Each structure stands twice: as structure tokens, then as C-alpha cells.
Amino acid sequence: MSLTYLEAIREAQARALRDDPRVIIYGQDVGAFGGAFKATKNLAGEFPGRVMDAPISEDAIVGAAIGAAIEGMRPIVEMQFADFSTVGFNQIVNQAATLFWRTQVPCPITVRLPFGGTSGSGPFHSQSLETIYAHYPGLVVMTPATVEDAYSMLLEAVAIDDPVIFCEHKYLYYHLKADKLPTEAVPTGKARIARAGRDLTIVAYSAMVHEALAVAEELKTEGHEIEVVDLRSVKPLDTDTVMASVARTGRLLCVGESWPWGGVTAEVVARVATEGFALLDAPPMRLNAKDTPVPYHPNLWAAHRPTARSIAAAARKLLRQ
Amino acid sequence: MSLTYLEAIREAQARALRDDPRVIIYGQDVGAFGGAFKATKNLAGEFPGRVMDAPISEDAIVGAAIGAAIEGMRPIVEMQFADFSTVGFNQIVNQAATLFWRTQVPCPITVRLPFGGTSGSGPFHSQSLETIYAHYPGLVVMTPATVEDAYSMLLEAVAIDDPVIFCEHKYLYYHLKADKLPTEAVPTGKARIARAGRDLTIVAYSAMVHEALAVAEELKTEGHEIEVVDLRSVKPLDTDTVMASVARTGRLLCVGESWPWGGVTAEVVARVATEGFALLDAPPMRLNAKDTPVPYHPNLWAAHRPTARSIAAAARKLLRQ
Amino acid sequence: MVQAADSVAVRFRPVAAGTAVFSELCTSAFRWMLLARLLDEKFASLYRAGKIHGGVFLGRGQEALSVATALALRPGDVFAPLIRDAAGRLAFGDTALDAARTYLGSALGPMRGRDGNVHRGKPREGLLPMISHLGAMISVVNGILLARRLKGIQGTVGAASIGEGATSTGAFHEALNQAAIEKLPLVLVVANNHYAYSTPTSRQFACDSLVDKAAGYGVAGHRVDGTDLEACLKTLQHAADQARAGRGPQLVVAKLLRLCGHGEHDDAGYIDPKLKTSPVGRDCLKVAEEFLLQQRWADAATIAAWRKEKTHEVEEAVTAAQREPTPDPYEEDWTALSSGQLREGNE
Amino acid sequence: MVQAADSVAVRFRPVAAGTAVFSELCTSAFRWMLLARLLDEKFASLYRAGKIHGGVFLGRGQEALSVATALALRPGDVFAPLIRDAAGRLAFGDTALDAARTYLGSALGPMRGRDGNVHRGKPREGLLPMISHLGAMISVVNGILLARRLKGIQGTVGAASIGEGATSTGAFHEALNQAAIEKLPLVLVVANNHYAYSTPTSRQFACDSLVDKAAGYGVAGHRVDGTDLEACLKTLQHAADQARAGRGPQLVVAKLLRLCGHGEHDDAGYIDPKLKTSPVGRDCLKVAEEFLLQQRWADAATIAAWRKEKTHEVEEAVTAAQREPTPDPYEEDWTALSSGQLREGNE
Ligand SMILES: Cc1ncc(C[n+]2csc(CCOP(=O)(O)OP(=O)(O)O)c2C)c(N)n1
Ligand SMILES: Cc1ncc(C[n+]2csc(CCOP(=O)(O)OP(=O)(O)O)c2C)c(N)n1
Ligand SMILES: [Mg+2]
Ligand SMILES: [Mg+2]
């Protein structure tokens, strides 16, 4: 058996529905059709009444999920693309994220955001929005980079009593495969050493982990041992694991696919600079997408986001310092 | 004559309306009523037909402003509170911010956000949202800290061909006074040395500039010369001025009123750490609001945001290193 | 049918049942209105005395509609009140003490000083704590109703209040449409008080009556004179009955006038004097009082006694709340997450 | 009255004037429909051949409604098309070449490879470039119309297209209400093609007909058979005339069926076969062809000649676009700001 990242997401939802009668799924075309990406394929048939097609009403979709959560359910909301969550933004950041703090009643909703760039998708079907959600208090923001994490973290997202923004990368949907589903997992909030090394730490998450791993492989041939830290969730952000890695390597390069101003790379570099300054043998570096919308054309898209090539160039520069 | 920060905003709008026939104002209660904070007092009377009351439709308000901008107007949108801009978010970040990049047609709208904490205002009338707007490409985000800047930057916001998010701090509305309106101003995108010093740089913006200045005054009595940099706009962010200051002082403390994850303080610290690492004689520090919604009660509110007291404590710690 | 692991929907205080004799319902409603009015007046005077941090938002002139909404509900039902719903909240089970605690920032109140004025609620008990963004509560009510249906719980009604201004929000539209698609037992009560802050209805909508919207959603529409308690009680009862009977969402549109500022900082100088002297400008509390007297369901002495009793209740609540501790930032649990293991220490 | 410094609203290519003899209008409309259909088919075949990056979205079955919308407009008017508007775009002044350039990512196209497929437009020429978020373009049209009014420009009409699914968005609601309040000359054309992606209307709205919404906004409502070119032309012309005459927004609801997948990746297996064989499932292009033949406004030979001519036009456009340079990331101006002095180098 071999499973894609996308199939793992489908399997996690199937299992959540099976194991917990409180779980429901709500989103556009998630029912009989099985979702725009087929992440809910066959689930409406297997779990009658619990996988519901929604109107094109992102605000009301999230609002209803919050209400159902108050009533003890565990709703999973599928946004058709992360980009469209901006019209459900208010309910997420002001209603779901504040409910527990205001009333002590938790709000266990999971909002699945198919996100990130793929070739030819353009400015409104490619966005990486982890930053805007992580900025708000009261949300957990997950960014799984592997098939195993896509599966286990989605199950955790449903189990967690807080609202979770589950950022699933569309580029990984079909590109990643695993042999089997995991039976156990690192807890949420813990980063993972995706590859051990001693010369340089590359901190990444989601699709960028794989670019970083390719760089590590490439630079090995040049005699460098690159450590790759996969953040797994960007909020909470596991500063300890990052710091421990930088303590080992003395060099930090942080890579994110979202826009350059104030994203994950800013937060990671700022934390290391403020709390682990003495660990750094060279100035830290960061690499982000360019500060424009995500371009449609493959030529432009490939230059807009960080790739193994641009990461390798940055890493070499940093290793020389 | 003496003018408050709020009156300066009113005067800037009056002048913009007077000088440029393309300027219009649109927002809830901005007409005969003069706005929830009276920032448009008497303007509807003075400029008939050009200051229009809007329905409670933030999405359509911003959308219409964009349309008017396409047609050559210079609309100013008043959000009643910054917090409510989340329901107009999509039009701002996906329509206004992408228009020029997509079509080469500029989108000269100004969105005024009365923002920031005041005592007793609670989680939905206190938010600082500069971070989520600055993250998106295509927007200019202004955060004036003085009466003079409130005036001249708002005029610049209207004049600039790009969409501007104009963050005007409600706490400063009545607390700040100036003798007269400025006749010239530092250009947008340039930070200002609000106070010169040589021992430590405090980078701040908006209301926090005044807390920082109070700290500088206080620490002077302890023999320290604190330099205070007022960012003025957080996007573009004037890294050069910040870096030059850190080059002089060797120490950086960055203060912001918004939530801790990924805000202005992360961006500033990350830039200095990556581009000016060698300038730092001690680890940089950052101070933000706490990672919860903004509390209603004055006791909690005062502890939630950075204040002269908590900034002074951080500064002393940093000076000892 | 789905079985939820934890069932949470137990109402904390019974309201006058929908089956009560109408005279009893009326007198009960009147007494809630009186309590709400007196409580509101107390908050206004505390505000003028500088004793309240932040704004004060009153329901003056809207008590009849508000109380009728709450009294149409039963234990187990759900209510999402808005800023003018002092009366409905109380009738639904909120207490004067919790109201005072929230306004005065008591650490013992339901919002523990974290949120203030009209933002209180107890979601587990069916009383939703409004966020300020207008229109945002309606879909939350929908979600509760949907969940009840999935759990096989029958007969629940959910009511949400909204001003005419908030009908312009996208959230209102999406939620009412959602309720219509799902045929949810939602009673959506629009208080058309002719102003949204200073904005008159001519700048808010262009239909003849907001009830004309009902057909466009495929829901039932009702209109009522919001100054007339009798009419409000009957209309809301009817609407709730229809919803409970499975006839889908009910849109109730009431005409009335807010007899106060938007908040206590506002002198409401923009209100058209003609409206004030027109029938919509009547004070529903006076109208209700006259109605009770006329029906002989109460005499002047009884009403005076009620007033005294409610005045006392208000004073007690405020005094008690004032004696309570305010929140202590050092004791405060500075996190917005409920999952302890996911908290970060970062500031 | 406001005088704007720069007047920008000059349409780039005249469309068939509303005053043309109806037979001419019909034949002209048919030829645009034909061009759109052939262009769409070409894109579909390029897609199948792997020559197009990203999705392909067709207007098959919706050409009559789309072209009628555009042909009801005049030079200086504004049009905000959506994904099914290949025909309307062309009739409004868009070119097959620009369509091909956008789909093929030519650096010389209006979107210069930055945006693709159906997202092209030239705002200064009245053709708005849709963003993907459904409902978001309507208020932008409102803003242009408002500005025209402020500038004292009279007689402009703005048309916006939307699917029945998008009527569920808050953006649709806020914008239509805004247009109604301002009494703007907006023609809002709803193509009820019975599905929003896979979602049937029963999961999208609960009113009998979407035209029932008109009264709730205080706007005029029109319904039309979207498969019938003659009816579409007449209804849209009438609606545009009404708007132009100052009668406020016009809501036009057409019934039809999308005769293709949501995008070319989708086999549309979810479409109810009964709908396909019902009158709404008719192919508007065939219906129009038969109508022209029956009216003797064209004979089979003429139509065959048109088809050949349009086929050639499509081939030429695609060939030309394919020969054009693709965008060069090293030449690309990596900024989203127009103000040069505000650009940051930060990556
Ligand atoms: C989305 C949103 N925009 C703006 C506001 C600011 N605001 C608070 S109350 C109000 C007026 C509400 O009018 P209406 O809905 O008629 O209720 P009323 O106050 O008359 O009871 C406004 C504009 C808000 N709370 N939410
Ligand atoms: C706000 C928003 N949510 C979701 C989507 C994803 N989406 C794109 S097209 C579509 C279906 C649109 O249906 P309809 O409005 O009926 O138009 P049609 O495709 O039938 O022409 C959806 C859900 C979107 N573009 N915008
Ligand atoms: Mg009102
Ligand atoms: Mg459709």
C-alpha cells in the first residue's frame, strides 16, 4: 500500500468520523462530490448526514462550525482554497479564537486550508496564510510537511480543544507518498529534526522542508552537514528544538514560502536572535517568497518562491561566513 | 491655536478635500454626524456630496472605494474601528493590494483604521492590525505617532498612488497636542529619530513611541542616553535608519503594541539580526502585547500592552548586558 | 443520528413557559422590562458618574420586543442577544448581578473582566456572548441548531437579535440563507429602530419593508409594532411556534425607536423629531403599563410595588458587584488557548 | 459635482449599438457566441494537450446570456465578467488574442503572465479583471458608477455577472444593497446554471426563484430563459435601458445549464441527466442558430462561412500568442507597489 499526502488527509478524516461521533465535515462540494481535491472522497456515503455541502458562504460556514463546537461537536471545515478563507476571516480570528478566552468554553474546530503555490495557479489559488492566523491569539496553526504528519496532525487537530488552522500544502498533495499510515506521532507543538547535521541549521515547514532536504543532500557532496528542522506547527512554535539545533550548528537559515514581511522566518530569526544570540557563529539568514502576489506563469512562480536552488545559494553563502 | 492628533486628522481630510476634487470620504456615520470619533466633523457640510454615509457593509465599502479609485478618484475610507476591517479584509488584501501588480492601474485608496488599545474598550475595539496588512504585498501601512505626522502622513496617504492602511491610534486622539500644523514633512518610508542617544536604541511606532520617550527621559536620570526611533510607517520599513541607530548604540529594543507572534518587532529584530548582526553589542530584545485578546478591564489592559514601566525594565536589563 | 459525547445544553433558569395564560405572560414580561429599564438607568447614571470603564449601551424603547423574543423561548433554547437586549437577556436567565459584574469588571462575573458592557454570555447555557462584529452571531446560532438536529434533539428554537443596520452585513445574509437552506428553527428578530448609530434607514436599505427580504430567502416573514408589548408577545410566540413546528426560519421585523443615544456618550441629536412624536416613538414600557392597567391585570399600586422591588434588585446587584474583586493581572492566566500543553510563554 | 483630474473611462472598442436593428444585433451576437465557443474549445484542446498551465474554465451553454449582457452596454460602460463570460468579454471589446495570451502566459498579454486563465481585464477601459473571490467585483462596479455620478458623467451603465452560487456570498448582498441605496445604474446578471461546482441549488438557496430577492433589496427583477438568445438580448437591453434611465439596479436572473465541467479537469458527472434533457439543458448556440435560420437572417452557408472565419481567428490568435515571449523572471519588476520610492528590496 502506498499513500499520498492527500490520501492521508482523507484517511485521517475517515478515521476521525469513525472514531468520534462528534466529528462532522462542512464545506463547499465536500459531500457526494468528495471535495475539490477529493480530500473527502466517499466520506459522505460512508457517514451519512455528517459530511455536508455548504453554500458559498465562508463567514457562515465558520460561524456554524463554531456553534456546533459550542454544542459539543468537532467540526472540520474545508475551505476550497486557503485564499478564500479571507472572507471567513472574521469568524475565525474574532469569534473562534476568542471564545475560550472570553467564556472558558473551548472552540474545537478545525479549519482545513489547502494552501501554497503550485505552478499555474496564480495569485488567488496559491496563497500561504499561516502568518495572518498565527499572529492572532487563540489559534493553533499546523503546517505538516510529511504524509505521516498530515495524517496524525489532522487527527490531533480534531482532538485538540482549541481552534486549529490546518495548512495542508497543495503541492505536497500528490508529490509525497508514504508506505503506511503512522500509528504514533510527535505531539503537536514539537518540531522534528528532519535530518541531522552539524554545520548549518535550516528551519523550514511544509513544502519548504523538502526543498531544504534536497539542499542538505546536495551540500553533502560539497562536504557540509546540514541539519533540517521541520517546525510542524508554526504556532505554537517550538523554539527549544530550533535553539538546540542552532546550538549544535551555530548557523541558522530560516525558509518560508509566504511573503517576506513578518512571517515565520521573522519570528524564528527574532526568537533565536533574542534568546539564543550567543549560539550564533554567523548572522542568521532568512529566505521568503518575493513581496508580490503569487504569479501565474511557471517562469515567474519558480522565481517567486524559495527553491532548492535559491536555498542552496543562501546556505553556501552562510557556510562561508 | 492648539490641535489634537484627532483634529489634525480632520484638518488633513479637510485640506485634501479642498485641494483635490478627486478626494471623497466614505464610511459609517462620517456624514452629517461627523464620524464616531468626529474625525470628519463638518466635512459633509463643507463639501456637499463628497462625504458619504455608508451602510454597515465593510466589504462593499472597500470595494466601492476601489472602483472609485479605478475611475480616478482618491477615496478615503473610514472604518469605525480597525477591528471591523476584518470584514472588509478580502477587498483590501486581494482586490486593492493586487490591482496595480495585476493590471498596472494603481489603486489610490486610503483606509483609515482607528486602532489600538484604550482603557475599557475590550477585545473588539482595541486591536492593532498593522501586522496582518503589512504582511500582504501591495499595501503601504502608516502608523503616525505625532500630531504633525497624523496630518502630513494622511495627506501623503491620499496623494500616494498605492492603497494605504492608515493606522491612527485612538489613545493618541485626545492625548497628543501640537501648536500648529506642519508645513513640511519627512517623506513616507523614512523613520525619524525621535530622540537622540548613544547607549540603546528603542525602535517603536505609534503610541509606543511616547512610552519609549518617557523611558528615555526616566533613564536619563540614571545616566543613560536612549535613542528612540519612530518608524512612522511599518511598511515600507526604514531599515537604514534603524541600522544606523543600532550602529551608534550597539543595543536594540523593539516595542510594539500588537500581538507577539510575527509582528513589527519580529520583522525589525530579524532585519537587524540578519543585516546588522555585527552592529549588536548585546542580544536584541523585543516587547509586545501579551498573546491574548485585548482585555476590557483597566487592570488587565495595563498589563497586557507594553508600558513605560515594562519598557524601562527591559531597557535596564539590556543596558546591563 | 449522531450522539455527542458531552451534552451541554441545559438552560440555567426557566423562563415563563409559552403556555402560560396570556395575562401572566404579559405581567411577567412587564416586570422584566421594568427591571431592564431600571438596570439600564442605573448603568447610565454610573456612567455619568465616571464609574464605568468604556461605553454603556442601552435598550431603552426596545424592551418589549426584546423580552418577547426571550419569552417565546423555552428551556434548552438558544438566544443570541445584541446591544439593546437588556430585557431579553434577563428574561432568558441572565441575572442583574452578572450584568452589573460585566459592566463593573468584577473578576467573578461571567467575563471575569476580560470583556465588558454588553458582551457577556454563557454559551453552554444557550446565552451567546456577542462579539462586536454585527451579524456574526446568527450563523453561530445556526451551528448550534444544526448540531442539535444531528444529535437528534428536537424542538429547539434559536433566536438572534439584530438591528436594521446590521441587515446590511454580509454575515446577516450568509447566515439567514444558511438557515433557510437547512430549514433551521431560527427566529431572526430585526429591530428596525430607524437608525444605525446616526445613519437613517434611507442610507441603509432601499426596500419598502425589511420583511420584503423574507421571500428572497424562502423564509417566513412577520412584522410587528415594536412599541406594543401585546403584539410583540403574540408575534414572537407565533414565530417561535412556527420554527419549532419545523417550518424553517422566521424573520420578524419590528418597528420602533431607540429612546436613547447609540451609547451613553451620544445625545442622539440626529433623530428626526417627527419620528419621536410618531407612533414608533412611543415608550413601550409606558404602553405596556397602560395596557396592563386597562386590562386590569395590574393596578397602579402593584406596579409601584414592582418598581420598588426591581429598584431594590438593581441596587443590590450593583452594590454586590462593586464589592467584588477586580481582576488581578498577576493572577491572570495570560493565554487564549485551553490546551495547556500548547501554551507558549512568548511575549 | 466633482471634476476628476484624469478622466479614464474610454472604451477601447465599440460594441454593436443598442439601437441597431434587432436582426443585426442577433447576427452580431451569434457571431460573438460562435467565436467564444470556438475559442473555448481551442483552450479545452490545448488543456488536454498539456499546453496550458493551471485550469481552463469555459462558458459553454452560457454564451447567449453573456453576449446579451455585453451587447446591452455602450462605449463608456463598465463590465465585470466572471468565469463563464468568454462571449460577453469578446463582445465588449476583449480580443481573442488577449484571451489566448492570458491562457498561454504571454508576456505581452494584459496580465503579462502574472495572472492567468479568466482573470484578465483592463480596468481603465471598463473591463474589470475578476479576482477569484466570488461576489467581490460587484461593489467595484458600484464604485465606478458612483465616481461617474460624482464627476457628472451621465448615462453610464455597469454590468456584473455572477453565478447562482455566488448569490450566497456576503459580498453579493452588501454590493447589491449598496447599489440599491445609491440607486446606481447596475445590471446584475445572475446565471443560474443549477450548479456551483458540484453543488445543486437545493444546497445553495431556498427561495422559489432568485428573482424573489429583488424586492428585498428594492430593485427591479427580471427573469429570462438563458438558452434563448432572443429573450436574453431583449431582457438585457430592457434592463440596461431601465438602469440608464435612472431606475436603479436591475437584477436579471437567467436559467440555463453549464454544458461542460466546472473547469476542464471536471467531468461534471454530478449533473442531473434530467436537467440535461430539459429545456434549460438546450445549447444556446444551437438554439440561436436555429432562430437565425428560421428568421432567415442567415442561411446555412453564411453560418458555415462565419464558423470558418472564427475558427481562423482563433487559430491565428493562439498561434500568435504561442510565438510571443513568456515572462522573464530576471526582467520582472518584483514589486506590487506603483510608487517607486516606497519599494523595499526585502525578500
Ligand atoms: C461589522 C461592523 N461594522 C461596524 C460596527 C460599528 N457599529 C456598532 S453598532 C453600529 C450601529 C448598529 O445599528 P443597528 O444594526 O441598526 O443596531 P442599533 O444600534 O440601532 O440597535 C455600528 C455601525 C460593528 N459593530 N460591526
Ligand atoms: C468566496 C469564494 N469561495 C469559494 C470559491 C471557489 N469557487 C470557485 S467557482 C465556485 C462555484 C461557483 O458557482 P456559481 O457561482 O454558481 O458559478 P458557476 O461556476 O456555476 O458559473 C466556487 C465554490 C470562490 N471562488 N470564492
Ligand atoms: Mg438600528
Ligand atoms: Mg452555478
- DSSP string of B162-182, one letter each residue: S-EEEEEEHHHHHH-EESS--
Q: Which residues of chain A approach chain D closer than 8 Å at the C-beta?
A: 28-29, 31-33, 36, 53-57, 59, 81, 83-84, 86-87, 119-125, 260-261, 287-293, 295-300, 302-304
In a domain, D167, yes or no: yes
Q: Of A188, A289, A284, A288, which is closest to residue A243 (Cα–Cα)?
A: A284
In a domain, C166, yes or no: yes
Question: The domain containing residue B136 runs over which residues?
Answer: 3-178
Q: How many other CB atoms are there within 10 angstroms of residue B258's CB atom?
A: 28
Residues on chain B touching A286 (C-beta within 8 angstroms): 270, 274
Last residue of a domain, one of A146, A178, A210: A178
Nearest to D53 among A28, A120, A291 (CB): A120
In a domain, D285, yes or no: yes
In a domain, B186, yes or no: no
Nearest to A60 among C119, C142, C339 (CB): C142
Residues on chain C touching A70 (C-beta within 8 angstroms): 8, 123-124, 128, 140, 143-144
Mutate to test the pocket of ligand 2, among D57, D84, D134 (most ligand atoms within 8 A of CB): D134
Do B147 and B44 share a structural domain?
yes
**Considering B125, B169, B210, B304, which one is annotated as catalytic?**
B125
Which backbone phi and psi does A314 adopt, to 5 degrees?
-65, -40
Do A13 and A102 share a structural domain?
yes
Q: Which residues of chain D approach chain A closer than 8 Å at the C-beta?
A: 52-55, 105, 111, 113-117, 119, 131-135, 165-166, 168-171, 196-199, 203-205, 270, 326-330, 332, 334-336, 344, 346-347
Residues 6+ apart with CB under 8 A from A191: A229, A230, A231, A232, A238, A241, A242
Scan for cell 462571449, then name that residue: D87
Tell me the pLDDT band of D20, cut-offs 50, 70 and 90. low
Last residue of a domain, one of A150, A178, A206: A178
Give per-residue pLDDT as tens, A114-143. 999 999 999 999 999 999 999 999 999 999
Write the CA distances from D9 to B72, D76, D81, D140, integer angstroms.
9, 6, 17, 14
D10/A113 Cα distance (integer angstroms): 41
Do B283 and B225 share a structural domain?
yes
C180/C298 Cα distance (integer angstroms): 41
In a domain, C339, yes or no: no
D322/A255 Cα distance (integer angstroms): 35
Distance from CA of A148 to the nearest CA of D (A): 28
Question: The domain containing residue C253 runs over which residues?
Answer: 8-326
- Contact yes or no for B224/B199 (Cβ under 8 A): yes
Distance from CA of C194 to the nearest CA of D (A): 15
In ligand 1, the atom with minimum distance to the C-alpha of C83 is 21
For residue C327, what is the DSSP state? P
Quick one: how far is CA C91 from the chain centroid? 9
D214 inside 8 A of chain C by CB: yes
We report the CATH number of the domain holding residue B291 as 3.40.50.920
Quick one: how far is CA A36 from the chain centroid? 19
A292/A301 Cα distance (integer angstroms): 11
Residues 6+ apart with CB under 8 A from B203: B229, B231, B242, B245, B252, B253, B254, B255, B268
Q: Which chains touch D (3 or more CB pairs under 8 A)?
A: A, B, C
**In A, residues 66-95, which contact B (CB 8 Å cutoff)?**
83, 86-87, 89-90, 93-94
So what's the pLDDT on residue D345?
60
β-bridge mates for residue B177, sequence order: B4
Scan for cell 492625548, then name that residue: B175
Do A157 and A100 share a structural domain?
yes
- Contact yes or no for C68/C238 (Cβ under 8 A): no
Q: Of B320, B308, B118, B321, which is closest to residue B202 (Cα–Cα)?
A: B308
Which backbone phi and psi does C186 adopt, to 5 degrees?
-100, 130
Lowest model confidence (mean pLDDT) among A93-97, A149-153, C338-342, D152-156: C338-342
Residues on chain D touching C202 (C-beta within 8 angstroms): 181
Q: Of A294, B293, B245, A20, which is closest to residue A12 (Cα–Cα)?
A: A20
Question: CB pairs under 8 A, 24+ apart, for D43-51?
Answer: D43/D99, D43/D103, D43/D264, D44/D260, D44/D264, D46/D103, D46/D104, D46/D318, D47/D264, D48/D264, D51/D104
Give per-residue pLDDT as tens, D110-163. 999 999 999 999 999 999 999 999 999 999 999 999 999 999 999 999 999 999
- Name which of D106, D137, D326, D334 to mutate to probe chain A: the one with the most chain A Cβ atoms within 10 A of its Cβ: D334
| A30 Cα: distance to centroid of ligand 2 (angstroms) | 14
Interchain proximity B89–A86, CB inside 8 Å: yes
Number of residues written out for chain D: 347
B54/D67 Cα distance (integer angstroms): 33
Alpha helices in C211-340 (DSSP H): 213-217, 229-244, 273-277, 284-295, 300-323
Interchain proximity B135–A83, CB inside 8 Å: no
- Contact yes or no for C236/C88 (Cβ under 8 A): no
Nearest to A300 among D198, D204, D327 (CB): D327
Alpha helices in C151-283 (DSSP H): 170-182, 213-217, 229-244, 273-277
Interchain proximity D216–C213, CB inside 8 Å: yes
Interchain proximity B93–A83, CB inside 8 Å: no
The DSSP secondary structure of B61-93, one letter per residue, reads: HHHHHHHHHHTT-EEEEEPSSGGGGGGSHHIII
We report the CATH number of the domain holding residue D194 as 3.40.50.970
* pTM reported for the whole predicted model: 0.97
Nearest to B93 among A86, A135, A270 (CB): A86
Residues on chain A touching D205 (C-beta within 8 angstroms): 55
Interchain proximity A64–C142, CB inside 8 Å: yes
| B36 Cα: distance to centroid of ligand 3 (angstroms) | 15
Give the ligand whose atoms come closest to the C-alpha of residue A91.
1
Q: Is A129 helix (H, G, I), strand (E, B) or coil?
A: coil
- For residue B137, whether the previous peptide bond is cis, meaning omega lies within 30 degrees of 0, is no
Interchain proximity B56–C204, CB inside 8 Å: yes
In a domain, C337, yes or no: no
Do B170 and B197 share a structural domain?
no
Name the strands in the sheet holding D78-80, side by side, starting at the edge strand that comes first in the sequence.
D78-80, D158-163, D186-192, D250-255, D220-225
| D134 Cα: distance to centroid of ligand 2 (angstroms) | 6
In a domain, B183, yes or no: no
| C60 Cα: distance to centroid of ligand 3 (angstroms) | 12
| D195 Cα: distance to centroid of ligand 4 (angstroms) | 4
Q: Which residues of chain C have pLDDT under 70?
A: 1-20, 345-347
Residues on chain C touching B87 (C-beta within 8 angstroms): 133, 169-171
Active site residues of A: 125
Which helix (H) or strand (E) segment holds residue B26: the answer is strand B23-27
Q: Which residues of chain B have pLDDT under 50?
A: none
In a domain, A28, yes or no: yes
Which backbone phi and psi does A235 adopt, to 5 degrees?
-150, 115
| C229 Cα: distance to centroid of ligand 1 (angstroms) | 24
| A102 Cα: distance to centroid of ligand 1 (angstroms) | 21
Say if residue D308 is exposed, middle or buried (CB neighbours under 10 Å; 0-12, 13-18, 19+): exposed
So what's the pLDDT on residue C39?
98
C165/C168 Cα distance (integer angstroms): 6
Number of compact structural domains in chain B: 2
D170/B90 Cα distance (integer angstroms): 11
In a domain, B185, yes or no: no
* Smallest CA separation from ligand 1 atom 19, residue: C196
Residues 6+ apart with CB under 8 A from C45: none
Q: Of D291, D120, D79, D84, which is closest to residue D194 (Cα–Cα)?
A: D84
Q: What is the mean pLDDT of chain A?
A: 97
Do A201 and A173 share a structural domain?
no
The identity of residue C170, as a single letter, is G
Interchain proximity D143–B57, CB inside 8 Å: no
Q: Of C40, C45, C46, which is closest to residue C66 (Cα–Cα)?
A: C40
- Contact yes or no for B321/B252 (Cβ under 8 A): no
In a domain, C30, yes or no: yes
Number of compact structural domains in chain D: 1
Do B147 and B13 share a structural domain?
yes
Tell me the pLDDT band of D7, cut-offs 50, 70 and 90. very low
Do A103 and A132 share a structural domain?
yes
CA angle A24, A28, A30 (to 5 degrees): 50
In a domain, C3, yes or no: no
Do B150 and B20 share a structural domain?
yes
Helix axes D300-323, D284-295, angle to 10 degrees: 140
CB pairs under 8 A between C and D: 83
Q: Of D263, D172, D280, which is closest to residue D227 (Cα–Cα)?
A: D280
Residues on chain A touching C110 (C-beta within 8 angstroms): 103
- Contact yes or no for D209/D223 (Cβ under 8 A): yes
C165 inside 8 A of chain D by CB: no
Do A217 and A68 share a structural domain?
no
Interchain proximity D111–A296, CB inside 8 Å: yes
Interchain proximity A56–D205, CB inside 8 Å: no
Find the distance separating the first CA and the last CA of chain B, reported in whole Å.
46
Q: Which chains touch C (3 or more CB pairs under 8 A)?
A: A, B, D
Last residue of a domain, one of A128, A153, A178: A178
The DSSP secondary structure of A11-57, one letter per residue, reads: HHHHHHHHH-TTEEEEETT-STT--TTSTTTTHHHHSTTSEEE--S-
The most distant pair of C-alpha atoms in chain D lies apart, rounded to whole Å, by: 65
Do B200 and B132 share a structural domain?
no
Q: Answer yes or no: is pLDDT of D16 > 80.
A: no
Residues with CB under 6 A from ligand 2: A 28, 56, 58, 80, 84, 87; D 83-84, 132-134, 163-166, 169, 191, 193, 195-197, 258, 262
A307/A200 Cα distance (integer angstroms): 17
Scan for cell 536555498, then name that residue: A311
Q: Answer yes or no: is pLDDT of D8 > 50.
A: no
Write the CA distances from D255 to B49, D81, D163, D249, integer angstroms.
39, 17, 10, 20
D167/C174 Cα distance (integer angstroms): 9
In a domain, B136, yes or no: yes
Interchain proximity B298–C53, CB inside 8 Å: yes
In a domain, B44, yes or no: yes
